[in-house]
Homo-oligomer: A and B are copies of this chain.
Amino acid sequence: MPKPHAETESRIMDLAENMIRRNGYNGFSFREIAAGVGVKSSSVHYYFPTKADLGACVARRYTDRFLDALGDPEDSSEDAQHLVSKLHGEFARALSSDGQMCLCGVLAAEVTGLPETVAEEAKGFFDRTDAWLQKGLKKTAWGGRLSAEEIERQSLAVLAQLEGGMLIARVQDRPALFDLLKPQLSDK
């Protein structure tokens, strides 16, 4: 016997994530969320007292899920191409199916206009993803001989290219542009 409407909380978060990825944090309201889920806005407040709470929870869940999907960087790190391909693929799905870019990339764009708790979560995404990539790069065959600064530089270059690529592909309404980037990412 499944709980009748017990998944309301996760449906709220799903829709909030969708709307933020499309319109930004300041581009959705509790009332829109409520209407989409089929409840009243006061019910949304029951789960998330403030909008900042909802935003921070959504960002945290997104980051956790993202890093979980990436797995252990040392597993696929015989060469850098595997690492980069994994990252690219993780982003590509939502972009080509729904025209959605990275949640935390969107949040980063309006960062100084965000509640501090939300901004902190957005920052955390880049901290953790960068750590994942740097860890993987260090374990590659020739990565072990690179300086710490060179590892940092290459990790940043890959993340920047992926985030910027999603941004541009979507504003141009050409998801294929993001695929065009894939070969460019590996030959460094």
A residues contacting B by CB (< 8 A) are 22-24, 26-27, 99, 101, 104-113, 119, 122-123, 126-127, 149, 152-154, 156-157, 159-165, 167-168, 170-173, 177, 180-181, 183-184, 187-188
Contacts and interface: CB of A to CB of B under 8 A. Distances in A.
A24 B153 contact: no
B157 A161 contact: yes
Given A184-B153, A184-B157, A113 B27 contact: yes
Most buried by B among A104, A105, A108, A119: A108
A126 B162 CA distance: 16
Contacts of A123: 171-173
A7 B122 CA distance: 38
Contact of A181 (B110, B153, B168, B181): B153
A167 B160 contact: yes
A29 to B, nearest CB: 11
24 contacts: A22-B113, A105-B167, A106-B110, A108-B109, A108-B167, A108-B168, A110-B110, A111-B170, A119-B171, A126-B168, A126-B172, A149-B180, A153-B184, A156-B180, A156-B181, A156-B184, A157-B161, A159-B164, A160-B165, A160-B167, A160-B168, A163-B167, A164-B167, A187-B188
Contacts of A27: 26, 110, 113
A24 B24 CA distance: 8
A23 B188 CA distance: 34
